[in-house]
Every structure is written in structure tokens, then in C-alpha cells.
């Protein structure tokens, strides 16, 4: 292996480390603006349409316009409206929308007051390729079901707006989600076939190269010039040029050239998941495959496919875990079948889409090979999904783990392969362990930023996991975008306990989804003991029981002990009689070593007073979770004085309609000199207790 090539994986690694510590890309503040630019992409959304606008082709500050009317690509529009930047994620595991869009040179989003069309069809290439793309998409809808036409639109045209959710999830969960993206490999193969076909007509090398590169380049524009397409177009050009110039084509050098071209245009692509996975796949093929082949002597096409699939997985493992937290262990074997068959799928889909312009009937026949291939993929993925423990979920690796992993892989690649075969294979094992082992020698309590609601996660050094509440009144996708990624990022597919304080939606909306989805398993659900067992209360118990979760009831005097961990319930009493949900809120005292916390749910000042009547001379607590999101009708002077918290955490959402936290409540805290934090300003607030040392960390820097 040429030593200069080590610069390539090093570049990827350096960029990947930067993303761990770089939180600010575009610091764009809200403002009213007016821009004039060209629409270069249009996507349907729940808002209507998302218009992607750029001032010119080299502009690095693009915007997304939310419009209720469609607009053709290539149209110049003038937009006036309120522009905002993209928010940083406020919880561990959450998708980084800001980094993603900034890596695509998109600075912000605009809610328009007015949109004026300045000139239609201004950019002829964008306009014509966009219309051709729409026509091909309609062709696929004519010749097969919506389920499969959406897949062909995604893999051939780069359109994922209408992808079948069930199929997308099935393929992604089983490690073949890459087939739903435009394949750089197949673009290169089709482009090379086109080049050779043109040459056979008698055209010279240069003309054949110019025509084939132009056609592939136009295809790239039609599909949105995504990461894999740009890589494929540049690598195809390098391949054809090397053929014309009678030079040796080298996949590593060609892909490095493609990476440089992409990064010169958009440097922040170094932070883009698709970019990293696309080029790490090339690293796997260019470096790891030859290394493994040098160790073993074999002659098998099937084994070739397995080693290629395994090598790509090894190269991309840390990135996959960083972004998706889990991996389907059987995907290596599934891809041995899927990848070779994708050539058939691509050719069948492309030919059928074109034939449909002439005869939809013939198109229905020729698309059959692609459709039945997809059905086979569904069957394979369905089988894998049912195999126990086939999905490995170690969670998000740390930056240190990633460094160790790639260092070990580099050592593997630089070894004299044939001399120490056992050593070369054995060295892979610690590299996988390095990226997957999650050491947890401390107690953790995280106040998750759920918006207007509550959600508290606890984990002991012994591995016991507890979720107290998990709901929101303003985050409608709390489970999908917050709770599930948070838990999976910590490598947790199983919770020992879920404790519900009370059954208001802002405390249980996400918990409901935990029981209806199949990704997170709960051993025991603890419900507050009360006579107010309304429909919401009983429904939650039924959902939990249907998912195989044990049901227990928690009330005053209930305790849980595990080595240095202690939890005690102060409220409600057994079968507490009330007509207000807030009043039966489970109130918990938590202690670990010298750390203690009081978690209050949504209790009112009256309930606080009842607790004070029973518990005199209570020890000072390290943290008080402010009752009822900082309501002025809770968090009374006497209650604060009795528990004398060193810190206060308030869980609430931005611009909530309740005015939480109330100014009067904040004044009580400040008058007593107690520091306070809110999830709406600080994001997730995590308490780490290790050897009597307590740290309070916020996910957002405020």
C-alpha cells in the first residue's frame, strides 16, 4: 500500500473528530430578509413545498423556502420573509440538523411573506432535467405499485419524498438502506458502458469521453448532485480520462480527487454522514479488501463478495455507530446477495422508465426483474429481523474510541500480511471492541430536553436504567426524534423501569410510543397509586401489558436500593384519592453517594405543604427538579427552604403558552441565591456522580 494514501483516511478521521467538538457552523440569527435566487430543488413536505434557493451556482449561503405553492426548478424568484437558522440538537443522540444543512451550503430557512416569480425557466439545464425527472417518476408510477415506484424514484432519480416508510425502515434496519440512494458504482458502470457504446459508432476517444461525461454530468444535475453522484461523476471522468490518456486508473486516487472536488465546493461536507460513508466504502474496497485477500489464498466469487461486504462494514463501522447507534450483524451476508443483484435492478429500472415513454405495457413487463428482486430483498430482511440478537446496539462511540479503532485498522493494513496471518486477523477484534465497549463506572441522571414536558433518565454503575416520565405537549415526534435516539445512543434497547408521575400528555406521550413501537423494551412500568384511574391511566397500563411489561404501583414508602443507589417515594399515598392528575404526581427522593435529588412531577403548592407536614428536617438535596415546569403555584418558599437545594432544574419548552417558568418562581430562586438551569435554554442537563464528585453538564452552551 502506497504510504501517501494514508493521507486519505487520515483526512476522513480528522474531519470526523472535528464534528465532535465543533458546535458552531453558521451563527445565523433570526431576521427579516429579501433574497432573489434560482430554485435548484423542490421537495414536498407537510408544509406544502420546500423550495431550495441559491443566488448563483457558487453561492455558499443558500436557503430553504417553505411555500404552499409548487415552483419549477430553474425559476428565479424573489422572496421576502422571516429567516431563521437551524438549531443545534439539544439532546444526546439527536440528529444535527444544523450541521447537515450547513454541510449542503444551506444557511437557513425562510417563512415567506411574499414570493414573486422573476423569470421562469431561467436556468434551462435545471428546468429541463427537473421536468425529465418528473416525467420518469410518473412513468414508474404507471408501471408498478406506489410501494416500488417510490423505491425506483429514490435509487434512480434521488427522490425520497414518497418512499414507503415500512420498506425504508425494513431496508435501513437490515443494513441495505444504501440501495435507496443513487449508486456511485452503477453510475460509473453505466457511464463506462455508454462511453464504449459511443466508441463503437466510430467516434474518437475524446469525443466519446466528452459525450459520455456530459450525459453523466447532466444525470448528476437531474438527481440533485448528491454526494455519491458527484463522487461517481468525478471518478467516471478520471476513469475515462485514464483510458484516453493510456494511464493506469487507480480507484483510491480517483476517489481522493472526487473528495477534494467536493470539499473545495462545500468544505463542511467533511461533517456530512453521507459523505463519510460514501468515501469510507471506497477506503474499504481500496485498502481493506486487498489486505484481507493477501492473508488468504482462495478462488471464489462468493467469498469475494463476502470480503468486499465485510471490508466496507469494517471501514464504516464507527461512522455507522456514531450516527445510527446500531448495526445489523447479518447485513454482511444479506449484502452478498443484494449488491450483485442491484446491477439487474438498476438496468431493469432504467430501461423500463425509458421504455414507458413509448409503451407502458412493455414497461410493466421489463420492470418485473427489478420488482421481484426488491421482493426478494424484503423476504431476506424479514427473515433477518426475526432472528434474535441479530441487531447489535452498542450506542454512540466516543471520539477516543473512534481514534483507537482507526489506529488499529491502520496497524492491520501496514503489517506484512503473509507472515503473521493469525496476528493480522486477531488485531481486528480489539478494534471492534474499542469502538463498541461503553464503560459506565458512574451514576448518571439526565433531564432530557423534551420541550414542554418532563423526561428524566437515570443509569447506575451496575447498569440499572430508569426513565421517569417521557412526554411533551409541543414536541409531536418526541419518541422518534428525542427519546429513541437518546436511549439508542447510550446503547440501551432495554429499560429496567419506567416510572410515571401522572398521566398528563406532557409526561406520557413518548412513553405511550415506547409501548406501541418495538425498538425499546421495558421490564417494569411503575404507575402512581391513585383512585383516579381514568381512561388515559388504564390505556397506558393496557399498552404496557400488551408489550410484555410488568405493571407495579408506586406510593409513599416504596423504595428501591442497589449498592450506593437509593430511591424513596414521598407521594402519593396508597390509592390516593383526588380529582386532579397533578396532585397524584409521583414524588421521588434519589440518593447516590453524596448526591441527592428531589423529583416532583407536577405537584401543586398544596401537595408540597402536605409533604412538608410529613417530612421534617429533611437533608439538603443537591438538585431539585422544579415542580410543574416552574409554575408560580408550586415551588413555594417553605418547600424550597426545607429541602434547601444547591441547584434547581426546570423542564420546559420555548415560547410555551403557560409562561413557564414564571418570573415569580425565578425570583424566589434568585432571592435565595440558588443557581437554576432550564432545558429550553441549556438543552439536556446531565448530572455525573463519580467517586463522590458531582458534575452538572449542559448539552447546549449558554
| pLDDT for 3 | 47
Residues of the chain where predicted confidence (pLDDT) is lower than 70: 1-28, 57-60, 298, 415-431, 434, 702
Give residue limits of the domains in the chain. Answer: 10-122, 443-698
Residues 286-295 have pLDDT tens digits of: 888 888 887 7
Query: CA-CA distance, 692 to 690, in Å (whole number)?
Result: 6
pLDDT tens, position by position, 669-679: 999 999 999 99
Contact of 105 with 61, CB cutoff 8 Å: yes
- Residue 367 is predicted with a pLDDT of 94
How many angstroms separate the Cα of 385 from the Cα of each of 110, 169, 171, 330, 374?
A: 41, 11, 10, 9, 16
Question: What pLDDT does 1 receive?
Answer: 45
Q: Residue 415's pLDDT is what? A: 66
The fold adopted by the segment(s) 10-122 is OB fold (Dihydrolipoamide Acetyltransferase, E2P) (2.40.50)
pLDDT of the residue at 10: 55
Identify the CATH assignment for 443-698 out of 3.40.50.300, 3.10.20.30, 3.60.15.10, 3.30.1330.10: 3.60.15.10
Supply 495's cell numbers. Answer: 429499560
Q: How many CB atoms lie within 10 A of CB 208?
A: 22
Run of H or E residues at 391: strand 391-392
In whole angstroms, what is the distance from residue 469 CA to residue 510 CA?
A: 8
DSSP-assigned letter for residue 532: -
Give the model's pLDDT for residue 413. Answer: 78
Quick one: which of 469, 511, 459 has its CA closest to 490?
A: 459
Amino acid at each position: 500500500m502506497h504510504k501517501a494514501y494514508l493521507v486519505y483516511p487520515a483526512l476522513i478521521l480528522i474531519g470526523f473528530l472535528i464534528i465532535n467538538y465543533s458546535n458552531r457552523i453558521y451563527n445565523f440569527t433570526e431576521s427579516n430578509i429579501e433574497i432573489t435566487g434560482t430554485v435548484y430543488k423542490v421537495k414536498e413536505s407537510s408544509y406544502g413545498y420546500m423550495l431550495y434557493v441559491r443566488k448563483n451556482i457558487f453561492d455558499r449561503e443558500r436557503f430553504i423556502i417553505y411555500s404552499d405553492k409548487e415552483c419549477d426548478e430553474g425559476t428565479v424568484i424573489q422572496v421576502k420573509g422571516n429567516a431563521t437558522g437551524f438549531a443545534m440538537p439539544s439532546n444526546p443522540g439527536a440528529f444535527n440538523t444544523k450541521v447537515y444543512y450547513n454541510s449542503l451550503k444551506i444557511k437557513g430557512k425562510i417563512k415567506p411573506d411574499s414570493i414573486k416569480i422573476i423569470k421562469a425557466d431561467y436556468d434551462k439545464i435545471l428546468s429541463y432535467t427537473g421536468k425529465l425527472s418528473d416525467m420518469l417518476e410518473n412513468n414508474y408510477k404507471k408501471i408498478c405499485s406506489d410501494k416500488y415506484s417510490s423505491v425506483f424514484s429514490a435509487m434512480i432519480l434521488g427522490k425520497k419524498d414518497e418512499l414507503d416508510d415500512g420498506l425504508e425502515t425494513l431496508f435501513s434496519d437490515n443494513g441495505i438502506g444504501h440501495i435507496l440512494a443513487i449508486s456511485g458504482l452503477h453510475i460509473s458502470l453505466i457511464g463506462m458502458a455508454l462511453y464504449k457504446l459511443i466508441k463503437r459508432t466510430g467516434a474518437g476517444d475524446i469525443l466519446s469521453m466528452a459525450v459520455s461525461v456530459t450525459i453523466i454530468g447532466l444525470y448528476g444535475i437531474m438527481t440533485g448532485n448528491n454526494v455519491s453522484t458527484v463522487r461517481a461523476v468525478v471518478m467516471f471522468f478520471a476513469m475515462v480520462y485514464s483510458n484516453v490518456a493510456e494511464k493506469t486508473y487507480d480507484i483510491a486516487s480517483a476517489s481522493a480527487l472526487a473528495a477534494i472536488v467536493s470539499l473545495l465546493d462545500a468544505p463542511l461536507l467533511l461533517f456530512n454522514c453521507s459523505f463519510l460513508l460514501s468515501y469510507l466504502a471506497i477506503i474499504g474496497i481500496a485498502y481493506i479488501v486487498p489486505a484481507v485477500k493477501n492473508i488468504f489464498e482462495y478462488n471464489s466469487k462468493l467469498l469475494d463478495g463476502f470480503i468486499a461486504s465485510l471490508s466496507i462494514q469494517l471501514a464504516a463501522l464507527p461512522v455507522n455507530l456514531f450516527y445510527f447507534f446500531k448495526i445489523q450483524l447479518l447485513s454482511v451476508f444479506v449484502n452478498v446477495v443484494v449488491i450483485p443483484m442491484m446491477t439487474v435492478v438498476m438496468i431493469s429500472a432504467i430501461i423500463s422508465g425509458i421504455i414507458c415513454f413509448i409503451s407502458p405495457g412493455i414497461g410493466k413487463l421489463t420492470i418485473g426483474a427489478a420488482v421481484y428482486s426488491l421482493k426478494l430483498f424484503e423476504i431476506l430482511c424479514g427473515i433477518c429481523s426475526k432472528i434474535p440478537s441479530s441487531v447489535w446496539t452498542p450506542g454512540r462511540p466516543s471520539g477516543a474510541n473512534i481514534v483507537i479503532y482507526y489506529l488499529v485498522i491502520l496497524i492491520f493494513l501496514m503489517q506484512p500480511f503473509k507472515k503473521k496471518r493469525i496476528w493480522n486477523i486477531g488485531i481486528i477484534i480489539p478494534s471492534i471492541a474499542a469502538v463498541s465497549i461503553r464503560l459506565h463506572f458512574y451514576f448518571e441522571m439526565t433531564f432530557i430536553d423534551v420541550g414542554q414536558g418532563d423526561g428524566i433518565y437515570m443509569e447506575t454503575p451496575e447498569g440499572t436504567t430508569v426513565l421517569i416520565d417521557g412526554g411533551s405537549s409541543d414536541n409531536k415526534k418526541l419518541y422518534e426524534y428525542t427519546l429513541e435516539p437518546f436511549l439508542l445512543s447510550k446503547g440501551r434497547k432495554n429499560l429496567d423501569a419506567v416510572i410515571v408521575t401522572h398521566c398528563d400528555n406532557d409526561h406520557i406521550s413518548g412513553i405511550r410510543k415506547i409501548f406501541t413501537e418495538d425498538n425499546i423494551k421495558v421490564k417494569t412500568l411503575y404507575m402512581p397509586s391513585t383512585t383516579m384511574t381514568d381512561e388515559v391511566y388504564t390505556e397506558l397500563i393496557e399498552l404496557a401489558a400488551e408489550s410484555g411489561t410488568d405493571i407495579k404501583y408506586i406510593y409513599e414508602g416504596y423504595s428501591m436500593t442497589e449498592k450506593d443507589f437509593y430511591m424513596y417515594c414521598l407521594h402519593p399515598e396508597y390509592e390516593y384519592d383526588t380529582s386532579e392528575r397533578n396532585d397524584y404526581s409521583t414524588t421521588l427522593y434519589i440518593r447516590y453517594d453524596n448526591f441527592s435529588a428531589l423529583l416532583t412531577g407536577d405537584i401543586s403548592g398544596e401537595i408540597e405543604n402536605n409533604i412538608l407536614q410529613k417530612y421534617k428536617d429533611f437533608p439538603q438535596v443537591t438538585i431539585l427538579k422544579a415542580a410543574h415546569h416552574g409554575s408560580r403555584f408550586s415551588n413555594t418558599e417553605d418547600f424550597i427552604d426545607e429541602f434547601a437545594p444547591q441547584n434547581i432544574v426546570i423542564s420546559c419548552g420555548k415560547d410555551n403558552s403557560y409562561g413557564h417558568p414564571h418570573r415569580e418562581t425565578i425570583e424566589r430562586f434568585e432571592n435565595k441565591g440558588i443557581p437554576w438551569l432550564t432545558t429550553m435554554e441549556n438543552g439536556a442537563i446531565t448530572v455525573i456522580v463519580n467517586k463522590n464528585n458531582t458534575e452538572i453538564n449542559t448539552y447546549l452552551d449558554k
